[in-house]
Structure formats: C-alpha cells, structure tokens
Amino acid sequence: MANKLIAGNWKMNGGLAANAALLQDVLAGLKSPACDVAVCVPAAYLAQVQGLVASGATAHLIALGAQDVSQHEAGAYTGETSAAMLKDFGVRYCLVGHSERRQYHGETDAIVAAKAQRALAAGIRPVVCVGETLAEREGGQTEEVVRRQLAAAIHVNGHCISEIVVAYEPVWAIGTGKTATPEQAQAVHAMLRAQLNAASASAARVKILYGGSMNAANAVSLLAQPDINGGLIGGASLKASDFLSIIAAAA
C-alpha cells in the first residue's frame, strides 16, 4: 500500500479569515509529509482554498476535497454542485455518503453510489463513507450494514473500483469523542478489505480510512493497524496542531 491518506472534513465550519489562518498554520508545520493530505471544505470556500493550497508551490502538499457532489450531471437541481463544477476548482477528492448526508438528507446507498459514479466520471476520487449506527452495532448488524453500503458502490462502479477511497466511520463515533478501539476498527477494515479484494484484483490499491473522533492521542494506535490506511478527521482537522499531529502519526 502506498502512502496513508489523512483527509480533514471541515463540515459546515470556517470563514474566509479562519480558513486562511488554519491553512497557513498547517502549511507552516507540514514541510514534506510522508503521507497524502487533503482538506474537504465547504463548497463556498473551494475557490479560496484552491488559491491558498491547491495551486502553486504548495499544490503537492495538500489536495483539495469537497464534502458532497450531485448525483445529477447538470440542470434544474437548485442548490446542488456538479462533479464538473468541483473539477473546475481543482477538487481531487469528494466525500460521498457521509453519515450526516445519509441521516439529514436521506441519501440512500443507491444515491451514494450514483454520486461516486459522477465523481469518478469527472476524474475526482470519491471517498465512499460507510458505517453503522450504535443500534446497529448493538444489534450485531455492523458487518451486514457496512457490507451492504460498500456493495452498492462496488455494484455501480466496479469497473473503476481501484479509483475510490473507502472511509469506515462508525456513526456512534463521529463527533462524540467515542472512538472505536483499534481492534474494533481493524476488524471492520479487514472485512471491507476482503470485500474489495473479492470484487477486483485492482482493489488492492483502494485506501480504507478510519473516521470517528480520531485525534492526536489515539491516531498512532489506530493508524498502526494493518488494514487502516489513513484517517478521515472531523473536529481535529479544525485545529492545526491536532491535524499536524495526526499527519505525523501517519508517517
């Protein structure tokens, strides 16, 4: 497996001044990271962040990411952003199926798979998010749920499955301060890895990130697991020193 990937998910946070300050601090501490780094920013700030990090001398240090993409190509879909529009701003990664989109916007597995397909067609790597709720974990359904979520993306995108990234994010761990133990996370990652391998020989290249309250303190043990190929970082990506510590842990 090549470099690990550490991707920040800013969610609906930030502002022009705060973004500039955060990225200035991250860039100052980044030097030449031994892992891939991306920031998935609100759509409103894609142009700003493209200018700050994704062009010129820093372009190789931080890749620009988006948090969502429309399942449609173009047209009468007010408020949506197409994959081609993201591409215009140099977006290289796009989250699809984040649990907050599934929960608050009713995104189904089929919609998530279609979004991944749009991203891939535009040359953007979709980060397909999967994860079980607390009730599903307690009901012994973790494997069934995450397998079903990934299977939908594989079904629609099997021909270019090696171009996706998968993020395992247990819903009960997102923004709660409760992290899956390294053993819990590794068990799910191993299962996802086996599912990918069974789908395509080229899927060995697919990175499987862990997300859910990853922070400077727990990153080392999570990232040391054999099937954890990086992290999707929410809250801790908003503080430069925490984000930099996680990046260092992935080296």
List contacts with ligand PEP (CB under 6 A): 9, 11, 169, 174-175, 211-214, 232-236
DSSP classification of residue 181: P
Q: What angle (nearest 5°) sits at the alpha carbon of residue 216, between those of residues 175 and 131?
A: 40
| Rounded CA separation 170/185 (Å) | 9
Q: Which residue has the tokens 């892992």?
A: 35
User: Residue 26 or residue 199: which is nearer to ligand PEP going by CB?
Assistant: 26
Least Cβ distance, residue 233 to ligand PEP (angstroms): 5
Half-sphere exposure of 30 (CA within 13 A, CB side): 23
Active site residue 144: no
Least Cβ distance, residue 37 to ligand PEP (angstroms): 15
User: Residue 58 or residue 221: which is nearer to ligand PEP going by CB?
Assistant: 221
User: Residue 91 or residue 174: which is nearer to ligand PEP going by CB?
Assistant: 174
Out of 98, 100, 132, 189, the active site residue is: 98
Active site residue 138: no
Closest-approach residue to ligand PEP (CB): 234
Contact between 247 and 35 (Cβ < 8 Å): yes
Out of 107, 132, 169, 189, the active site residue is: 169
Least Cβ distance, residue 56 to ligand PEP (angstroms): 28
User: Nearest to residue 110, comparing CAs of 81, 153, 170?
Assistant: 153
User: Residue 8 or residue 33: which is nearer to ligand PEP going by CB?
Assistant: 8
Q: How far is CA 42 from CA 57, 98, 185, 215, in A?
A: 23, 14, 27, 21
Least Cβ distance, residue 115 to ligand PEP (angstroms): 16
Q: Which residue has the tokens 């697991």?
A: 225
Q: Could you give the residue numbers annotated as active site?
A: 98, 169
